[in-house]
């Protein structure tokens, strides 16, 4: 099968497996795991933040950030299709006792003035705006890179209003590679940032939260409360370190493969392929008389896996385990089936 359901399906590299075997370990709850410490220090350096914390997943990282920034009864501003709102099981409401307030963006990009207008005034009837959340790249929009100028404007508004900004940067490495803008430049427009090591970078487990040292100290306690305190975590931090230090530059290959796939199928009558910016391809299939599910069933018969992204929309995600040859095979099979 050519598996383009997500970049989370990648298998650990040989170097990652070797790191799991050989990395020095200790009890991370006591902050004694040298490999975790090395990973956290490297991540903080790359992101330009004072400190970092290794967590088990991007979702856990986002929840810890909200729990650390906010008080129960706060409101959190985010884009209407943010991962934090759509795909994390209402966890910020369940755990942090906050309510989301969504702003409809254009391909995931919020208008800064609409963000400003959504900030609550000091009024007994309203919740306090406790946090603004951004996402880059934007998953639901199809891997769109949120422009740095947009982030700068929103961050300036947040500073005026003394509201912290958290970035769900699960695929921030993709944004950086695609735009040529350093990770630190993106992270400078946020107070805290979460990045995933287990998506395009291919680590088997783990994400990073980075921010001020006092924030990370509080976040560490929230990680413990959520059951995320790790013991001999170097076994998973070792592969994560390999991902962080050896797998970023190769993301350009995923981006090139995504563009190659999009170009290969865009002329099929009945398919509408959205513009590709990173490693995601959104394809609207209603012109073929298909639903997303019926189209995916036919793709599966051709040895290709993708996922539904709406009633009549399908998402493909290129990743480390999908080669350029795989892309050409996928294009040939799709074209043969639907263009004949």
Give the pLDDT confidence of 175-192 residue by residue, as tens digits.
999 999 999 999 999 999
CA distance 186 to 155: 11
> Could you tell me if 191 and 260 lie in one domain?
no
> Could you tell me if 41 and 156 lie in one domain?
yes
> Could you tell me if 144 and 258 lie in one domain?
no
> Could you tell me if 35 and 58 lie in one domain?
yes
Show Cβ contacts of residue 219 under 8 Å, excluding neighbours closer than 6 positions: 53, 64, 65, 68, 209, 211
> Could you tell me if 112 and 233 lie in one domain?
yes
Residue 29 lies in a domain: yes
Give the relative orientation of helices 234-246 and 34-47 as an angle to the nearest 10 degrees.
30
Tell me, what DSSP letter sits at residue 197?
A: S
pTM of the model as a whole: 0.96
> Could you tell me if 56 and 184 lie in one domain?
yes
pLDDT exceeds 90 at position 162: yes
pLDDT exceeds 70 at position 340: no
CA distance 56 to 197: 10
Residue 7 lies in a domain: no
> Could you tell me if 168 and 307 lie in one domain?
no
CATH of the domain at 177: 3.40.640.10
Mean pLDDT for the chain overall: 97
Q: Is the dihedral of CA 223, 183, 86, 112 positive or negative?
A: positive
Could you tell me the residue range of the domain that residue 130 belongs to? 12-246
Contact yes or no for 262/273 (Cβ under 8 A): yes
Mean pLDDT confidence for 310-314: 97
- What pLDDT, on the 0 to 100 scale, is given for residue 288? 94
Give the pLDDT confidence of 33-87 residue by residue, as tens digits.
999 999 999 999 999 999 999 999 999 999 999 999 999 999 999 999 999 999 9
Give the pLDDT confidence of 195-233 residue by residue, as tens digits.
999 999 999 999 999 999 999 999 999 999 999 999 999
Give the relative orientation of helices 324-338 and 251-265 as an angle to the nearest 10 degrees.
20
CA distance 154 to 190: 9
pLDDT exceeds 90 at position 339: no
Residue 315 lies in a domain: yes
> Could you tell me if 295 and 241 lie in one domain?
no
Residue 216 lies in a domain: yes
> How many domains does the chain divide into?
2
Mean pLDDT confidence for 94-122: 97
């Amino acid at each position: 099968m050519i598996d383009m359901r997500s970049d989370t399906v990648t298998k650990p590299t040989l170097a990652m497996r070797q790191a799991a075997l050989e990395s020095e370990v200790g009890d991370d709850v006591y902050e004694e795991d040298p490999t975790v410490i090395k990973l956290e220090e490297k991540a903080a350096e790359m992101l330009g933040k004072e400190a970092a914390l290794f967590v088990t997943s991007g979702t856990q990282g986002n929840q810890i950030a909200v729990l650390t920034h906010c008080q129960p009864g706060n409101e959190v501003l985010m884009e209407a299709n943010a991962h934090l709102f759509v795909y994390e099981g209402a966890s910020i409401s369940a755990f942090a006792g906050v309510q989301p307030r969504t702003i409809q963006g254009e391909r995931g990009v919020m208008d800064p003035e609409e963000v400003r207008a959504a900030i609550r005034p000091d009024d007994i009837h309203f919740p306090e705006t406790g946090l603004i959340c951004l996402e880059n790249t934007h998953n639901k929009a199809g891997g769109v890179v949120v422009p740095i100028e947009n982030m700068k404007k929103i961050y300036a508004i947040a500073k005026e209003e003394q509201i912290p900004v958290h970035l769900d940067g699960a695929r921030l490495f993709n944004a950086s590679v695609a735009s040529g803008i350093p990770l630190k430049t993106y992270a400078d427009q946020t107070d805290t940032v979460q990045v995933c090591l287990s998506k395009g970078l291919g680590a088997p487990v783990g994400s990073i939260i980075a921010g001020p040292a006092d924030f990370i100290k509080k976040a560490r306690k929230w990680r413990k409360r959520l059951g995320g305190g790790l013991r001999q975590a170097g076994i998973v931090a070792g592969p994560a370190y390999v991902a962080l230090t050896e797998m970023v530059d190769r993301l350009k290959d995923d981006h090139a493969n995504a563009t190659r796939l999009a170009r290969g199928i865009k002329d099929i009558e009945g398919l509408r392929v959205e513009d590709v910016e990173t490693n995601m391809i959104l394809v609207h299939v209603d012109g073929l008389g298909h639903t997303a599910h019926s189209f995916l069933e036919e793709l599966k018969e051709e040895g290709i896996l993708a996922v539904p992204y709406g009633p009549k929309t399908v998402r493909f995600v290129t990743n480390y385990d999908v080669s350029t040859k795989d892309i050409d095979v996928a294009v040939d099979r799709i074209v043969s089936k639907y263009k004949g």
